[in-house]
């Protein structure tokens, strides 16, 4: 990979110091998926990069292995020195509270602090940006699109919201002089409003992040604003059924996509054979017949349809698409089959919204009909649990057995009466249980595992490797 055609001078449009004066980049919350991609970008650019995160993770381990120092406790000795203020860019994520000691110290000493979304927006300037937004599915569509472009003659750079299993990273840089940049456009904290893309995708628009938006109507308004930021002559591609009228922007073209019905880009003749989805995609830009997608989940047929649409509109040929899709390996923690033994299948998924849980569980039913599904779910955020407790209960009732962990608080303080019991109390499923991370993997001794799912966006991923080891040991016994 190279960093060609990515001039750092694009930052000059921001009210910041000239980047040619910057020698080091410090990231508060460096272990976040979006932050770590920026850390890798600036490291490739030859800058001195370091950062802080709350807890170690496989991702921070990878950064350290790549030569990027990361520390996990507030330690002024590991922070940039005041004397380095003019040569240091500090990037922070909204997940880090303003009350955090390092944040306060950096502000008090007048360092150049910039939000992650501002930096991503700056990097997109001067590029042909393909921005993928939506309350779910955006990481998969982003990664699929980047893969199709990267495996073709077109090429791209990409900032992805997950670790691509094909490339082992969340950052791709162009090997040629491609001006395409694929960016995951996150609606949290209105971050996606920093992007002004040539083409944009909206996957889903279910109510979420109501701690930020207050109402579902405000969330819809933000997506409408995002649509209005598509450059003149650009394109909006949206999932058919997204319930909002975007057509007020007369300066762009509109296309819809679907895997289940009539649309501009639509999947047809979808069948499952030998563990793979076989289907065709019909579009205004030509038909791609005989697609073989080995990455599981019916929702991923729809996600791939969106990615194919972007690829076709950016010059990837049907022959290149057909050749590359069978090799697509997916994203870590997105319908991620972590263990497939003689009798047991274990799938890990990032789903943390009721709609995502429903889609994942139904896809497992479709892929493994008639088998018993045991699910472990960790709710993410007190406000999300409060707002969607009914929806979580309905989705988890699709399981045969459910274990509900305590809420991962992330950036929030507890809310009285909001805990795992709130969801369990609304569930109709007979086999349900409250648990904590400390119960694993021993608690699984109480179950005869057939298909096992772990679901959630908190720190449930820390259980994955111990569960894999447990299942292997059980089958080898």
For residue 441, whether the previous peptide bond is cis, meaning omega lies within 30 degrees of 0, is yes
- Asked if residue 20 lies in contact with residue 12, where contact means CB atoms within 8 angstroms, the answer is no
Mean pLDDT, residues 321-332 = 95
pLDDT at residue 243 in the model? 73
- What confidence tier does 357 reach under pLDDT thresholds 50, 70, 90? very high
Query: Can you read off the two tokens belonging to residue 240?
Result: 């058919």
- What confidence tier does 5 reach under pLDDT thresholds 50, 70, 90? very low
- What confidence tier does 2 reach under pLDDT thresholds 50, 70, 90? very low
pLDDT at residue 351 in the model? 86
pLDDT at residue 141 in the model? 97
* Rounded Cα–Cα distance for residues 5 and 180 (Å): 10
Mean pLDDT, residues 107-135 = 91
pLDDT of 131 over the 90 cut: yes
Could you give the C-alpha distances from 282 to 105, 212, 269, 279, 304, in angstroms and in order? 56, 38, 10, 10, 13
- Classify residue 156 by its DSSP letter: -
pLDDT at residue 446 in the model? 95
Average pLDDT, the chain: 89
Residue that has been written with the tokens 């017949």 in this structure: 289
pLDDT of 108 over the 90 cut: yes
Q: Report the Cα 377 to chain-centroid distance in Å.
A: 18
pLDDT at residue 237 in the model? 96
| pTM, rounded to two decimals | 0.83
pLDDT at residue 324 in the model? 97
288 phi/psi in degrees, rounded to 5? -115, 110
* Rounded Cα–Cα distance for residues 371 and 365 (Å): 8
Mean pLDDT, residues 72-85 = 88
Write the CB contacts of 261 (distance below 8 Å, at least 6 apart in sequence). 240
pLDDT at residue 207 in the model? 59
pLDDT at residue 313 in the model? 97
Residue that has been written with the tokens 């999300």 in this structure: 384
pLDDT of 106 over the 60 cut: yes
Strand, helix or coil for residue 377: strand
Maximum pairwise Cα distance, the chain: 65
* Rounded Cα–Cα distance for residues 381 and 394 (Å): 18
Could you give the C-alpha distances from 378 to 381, 385, 441, 454, 456, in angstroms and in order? 10, 10, 15, 8, 5
- For 174-228, write each residue's pLDDT tens digit: 987 889 999 999 877 777 888 999 999 999 876 565 566 678 788 888 888 889 8
Q: 285-320: buried (b, 16+ CB within 10 Å) or exposed (e) per residue?
A: beebeebebebbbbbbbbbbbbbbbbbbbbebebeb
Q: 78-87: buried (b, 16+ CB within 10 Å) or exposed (e) per residue?
A: bbbeeeeeee
Residues paired with residue 454 on neighbouring β-strands, in sequence order = 348, 376
* Rounded Cα–Cα distance for residues 3 and 43 (Å): 11
Q: What percent of the chain has pLDDT over 70?
A: 93
Q: Report the Cα 392 to chain-centroid distance in Å.
A: 20
Alpha helices (runs of H) in 125-170, residue ranges in sequence order: 138-150
What does 343-357 look like in DSSP terms, one character per residue? Answer: S-EEEEE---SHHHH
Residue-range domains of the chain with CATH: 8-119 (3.40.50.720), 127-327 (3.40.1190.10), 336-476 (3.90.190.20)
Query: Can you read off the two tokens belonging to residue 12?
Result: 């000059």
- Asked if residue 6 lies in contact with residue 157, where contact means CB atoms within 8 angstroms, the answer is yes
pLDDT at residue 291 in the model? 97
Could you give the C-alpha distances from 147 to 151, 310, 328, in angstroms and in order? 6, 11, 7
- Asked if residue 385 lies in contact with residue 377, where contact means CB atoms within 8 angstroms, the answer is no
- For 260-310, write each residue's pLDDT tens digit: 889 999 999 999 887 789 999 999 998 999 999 998 878 899 999 999 999
Query: Can you read off the two tokens belonging to residue 417?
Result: 């009466």
Instruction: Name the residue among 439, 315, 303, 300 with its Cα closest to residue 378.
Output: 439
Alpha helices (runs of H) in 278-333, residue ranges in sequence order: 298-313, 318-324
Q: Report the Cα 395 to chain-centroid distance in Å.
A: 21
pLDDT at residue 3 in the model? 39
Among the residue ranges 81-85, 391-395, 466-470, the one predicted with the least confidence is: 81-85
pLDDT at residue 9 in the model? 41
pLDDT of 247 over the 90 cut: no
pLDDT at residue 19 in the model? 57
Instruction: Name the residue among 362, 355, 463, 344 with its Cα closest to residue 403.
Output: 463
pLDDT at residue 20 in the model? 64
The upper half-sphere exposure of residue 27, i.e. CA atoms within 13 Å in the direction of its Cβ, equals 30
pLDDT of 249 over the 90 cut: no
Write the CB contacts of 198 (distance below 8 Å, at least 6 apart in sequence). 128, 129, 130, 230, 231, 234, 235
pLDDT of 244 over the 70 cut: no
131 CB-contact burial (10 Å; exposed 0-12 / middle 13-18 / buried 19+) = buried
pLDDT at residue 211 in the model? 64
pLDDT at residue 43 in the model? 94
Write the CB contacts of 414 (distance below 8 Å, at least 6 apart in sequence). 382
Mean pLDDT, residues 380-397 = 94
pLDDT of 1 over the 70 cut: no
- What confidence tier does 374 reach under pLDDT thresholds 50, 70, 90? very high
């Amino acid at each position: 990979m190279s960093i060609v055609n990515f001039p750092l001078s694009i930052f000059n449009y921001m009210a910041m110091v000239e980047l040619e004066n910057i020698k080091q980049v410090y990231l508060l919350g460096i272990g976040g998926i979006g932050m770590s991609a920026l850390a890798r970008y600036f490291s490739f650019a030859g800058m001195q990069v370091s950062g802080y995160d709350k807890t170690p993770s496989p991702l921070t381990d990878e950064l350290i292995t790549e030569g990027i120092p990361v520390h996990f406790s507030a330690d002024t000795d590991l922070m940039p020195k005041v004397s380095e203020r003019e040569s240091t860019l500090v990037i922070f994520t909204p997940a880090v509270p303003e009350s955090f000691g390092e944040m306060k110290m950096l502000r008090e000493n007048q360092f150049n602090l910039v939000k992650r979304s501002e930096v991503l927006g700056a990097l997109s300037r001067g590029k042909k940006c393909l921005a993928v937004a939506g309350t779910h599915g955006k990481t998969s569509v982003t990664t699929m699109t980047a893969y199709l472009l990267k495996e073709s003659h077109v090429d791209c750079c990409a900032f992805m919201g997950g670790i691509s299993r094909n490339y082992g990273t969340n950052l791709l840089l162009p090997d040629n002089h491609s001006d395409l940049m694929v960016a995951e456009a996150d609606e949290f904290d209105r971050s996606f409003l920093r992007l002004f893309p040539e083409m944009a995708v909206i996957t889903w628009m279910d109510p979420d992040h109501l701690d930020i938006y207050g109402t579902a109507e405000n969330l819809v308004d933000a997506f409408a604003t995002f649509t209005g930021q598509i450059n003149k002559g650009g394109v909006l591609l949206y999932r058919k059924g997204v319930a909002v009228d975007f057509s007020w922007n007369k300066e762009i073209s509109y296309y819809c996509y679907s895997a289940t019905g009539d649309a501009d880009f639509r999947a047809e003749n979808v069948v499952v054979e030998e563990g793979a989805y076989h289907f065709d995609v019909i579009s205004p830009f030509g038909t791609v017949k005989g697609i073989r997608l080995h990455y599981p989940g019916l929702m991923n047929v729809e996600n791939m349809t969106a990615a194919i649409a972007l690829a076709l509109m950016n010059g990837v040929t049907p022959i290149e698409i057909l050749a590359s899709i069978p090799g697509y390996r997916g994203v870590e923690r997105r319908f991620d089959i972590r263990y497939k033994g003689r009798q047991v299948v274990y799938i890990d998924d990032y789903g943390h919204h009721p709609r995502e849980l429903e889609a994942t569980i139904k896809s497992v039913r479709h892929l493994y009909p008639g088998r018993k599904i045991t699910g472990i779910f960790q709710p993410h955020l007190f406000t999300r649990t409060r707002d969607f407790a009914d929806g979580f209960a309905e989705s988890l009732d699709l399981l045969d057995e459910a274990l509900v962990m305590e809420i991962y608080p992330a950036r929030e303080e507890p809310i009285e009466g909001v805990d795992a019991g709130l969801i369990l109390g609304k569930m109709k499923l007979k086999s349900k249980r409250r648990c904590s991370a400390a119960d694993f993997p021993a608690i699984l001794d109480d179950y005869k595992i057939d298909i096992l799912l772990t679901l959630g966006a908190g720190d449930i991923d820390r259980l994955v490797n111990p569960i894999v080891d447990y299942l292997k040991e059980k089958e080898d016994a």
